[in-house]
Amino acid sequence: MATLILRPNGDGSELSIPWYYNVDNYYESGANTNWPMVDEVTPDGQATSVGDIGGAPQPHKRDLYVIPDHTTESGVINFVKVYIRVLDGVPTAKYRHYKPCLRTNGTTVDGDEITGGLTDEWITYSQSWAVNPVTTDPWTWDEIDALEIGVSVEKATAGSPLCTQVYVEVDYTPPLWTETLRPNAAGDKTEWVSVVNSTHHGACGDESDETYIQNNTWTNEDPYRIDLFNIPSLEGEPVTITKIIVTVRCKQNTDYPDESVSYSQVIKTGGEEYEHPGTIDDANWKDYSYEWTLNPKTGVAWTIADITNLQIGAKGQLRPGSAWDAYTMCSEVWVDVYCSLLPPPTARSFGIIIG
């Protein structure tokens, strides 16, 4: 998942909070006076804030603010969370009431009312909406661009309600994209017995069944042979790699089911080889795939450096002395690297933040 933080950059459709405080004094609100008081990244308490200093009691009064459009972000929106940082009060002596607010699809929605706290200090509250509260459908990026966010304040008794920050967090899952990498050079092993119409890495690096490698000669040695290949580097922006899938396109030389032969997808990472074996029992070209979610050497998620140093390959078998002298043939090897466009968000706290 990833997060996008958006802060006010203009007046919204409602400006009812009557006062703002700027550095040294209270002033009556007007056009473009309130949103600059709540847009800061680092909270500054009362120094820039909005509120109601009228005589108590005062009803709820709401401000709404527009926010910037998103830019390159895309993917499924998991939730929208509105944050407000407000001056809280001792319930037995001061009553300052607040609500986080948003406006979407022409309708204003108030969050749950916050009624006092334990001490007279600045506290950050938040409320999230997993779906659009007006349409009850998943959020869209067009709705994020049109969203207004804000705060409602109520002065119930003594103690003026003040708000110094309003912002929204959009939590989303970026789309996955796949980078397909094919052999571009020989790796550490070239053991398959023969190659047809190409070099070993060339035969397995193209997308043709007319070029292939095969284990078709018995030499009284180990009947299992491995070819390893280098692959191009993974280019582009920093990414999170969620998994790799290695595919070998293989067949056996005969379609006789009693004479099946073995194959394996093979990788080499961190100086170690890892494989996933299987069997083939017909003479039709087929794709056989295996997924490594984590780097088996490190036990953690793949990195760009891991992919840069990765070798991929295939292992094949010759069965000498069988009725059909069955053996493995391989025409393609490739790896699909599944990436997300952004790194995962850093750990953060949700809900109430005191201090």
pLDDT tens for each residue of 173-202: 888 788 899 999 999 999 998 999 999 999
Please tell me whether residues 52 and 200 are part of one structural domain: no
**Of 129, 153, 174, at which residue does a domain stop?**
174
Mean pLDDT of 258-263: 79
Residue 346 lies in a domain: no
Number of domains forming the structure of the chain: 2
Whether residue 2 has pLDDT greater than 60: yes
Same domain, 40 and 147: yes
115 and 194 co-located in one domain:
no
Q: Does some domain include residue 203?
A: yes
Please, what's the b/e burial string for 47-58 (b: 16 or more CB within 10 A of its CB; e: otherwise)? ebbbbbeeeeeb
* pLDDT over threshold 60, residue 233: yes
Looking at residue 318, its pLDDT comes to 77
Average pLDDT over residues 303-316: 94
Q: Is the pLDDT of residue 349 over 50?
A: no
Cα 157 to Cα 259: distance, rounded to the nearest angstrom: 88
Which one-letter DSSP state was computed for residue 17?
A: -
Instruction: From 189, 172, 171, 152, select the one nearest 14 (Cα to Cα).
Output: 152
Number of helices (H), then strands (E), belonging to the chain: the values are: 3, 25
Among residues 127, 145, 174, the one where a domain terminates is 174
Please tell me whether residues 170 and 183 are part of one structural domain.
no
Q: What range does the domain containing 63 cover?
A: 2-174
Tell me whether residue 353 is in a domain: no
Domain for residue 193, yes or no?
yes
Going by the DSSP 8-state scheme, the letter that residue 120 receives in this structure is S
Alpha carbon distance 295, 243 (integer Å): 9
Instruction: Decide: pTM greater than 0.75.
Output: no
CA-CA distance, 285 to 8, in Å (whole number)? 59
Residue 126 resides in a domain: yes
pLDDT higher than 80, residue 274 = yes
Same domain, 100 and 120: yes
Decide: residue 218, CB within 10 A, 0-12 exposed, 13-18 middle, 19+ buried.
middle
Q: Which helix (H) or strand (E) holds 143?
A: helix 141-146
13 lies in the same domain as 140: yes
CB 100 within 8 A of CB 128: no
Q: Is the domain of 70 the same as that of 49?
A: yes
